[in-house]
Amino acid sequence: MHPSPLLAATSAALLLAATMPQLAQAREIVGFSDLYSSGTVVVKTNERALYYVLGNGKAVRYPVGVGRAGKQWTGMARISGKYLKPAWSPPEEVKRDKPSLPNVIPGGSPTNPMGAAALTLSGGGEYAIHGTNNPGSVGGFVSYGCIRMYNADVLDLYNRVSWGAPVVVTR
């Protein structure tokens, strides 16, 4: 006996929902009194949190992984690109530390550290806000300076943020 296509699809959807609730619910709407205009992305590295400012004292807060000791940065940038399933070329510093990495990892590959989407930042092309295929790294001091998000959260942010939106990174 074979299960009906509807039963199989329902079972698959329930299994997916049961295994990923923390990822889908990681973001939350919070009070936000900092004086940034709506549409601004604010990363507070000490909190390991990214805020997408909604305005009227509210923001969407997402947990993130940030730069490890000696790799953190602060400042202002803008969203310079939006990519779904981006390919990744390791920056020179990463390649120096891990010479066995290929020069390019195709988008969608399980070994691609960019995950489901990437929002590149102005200022030289070294940094991005991106998903990850290592969800256990979200919430830590883990990167070479990029901001890591759960894949479900980076897709949510991708749909909210505009090209050219300001990004502020603070301690």
Of all residues in the chain, the percent with pLDDT exceeding 70 is: 85
pLDDT value at 2 more than 60: no
pLDDT value at 3 more than 90: no
Mean pLDDT of 102-124: 93
114 catalytically annotated: no
130 catalytically annotated: yes
C-alpha 168/C-alpha 9 separation (Å) is 42
pLDDT digits (tens, 9 = 90+) for 40-91: 999 999 999 999 999 999 999 999 999 999 999 999 999 999 999 999 999 8
Architecture of the domain spanning 21-170: Beta Barrel (2.40)
The pLDDT score that the predictor gives to residue 123 is 84
C-alpha 72/C-alpha 90 separation (Å) is 17
Cβ pair 52, 161 in contact under 8 A: yes
What is the residue-averaged pLDDT of the chain?
87
- Looking at 60, 64, 146, 149, which residue is catalytic? 146
- Looking at 130, 148, 156, 169, which residue is catalytic? 130
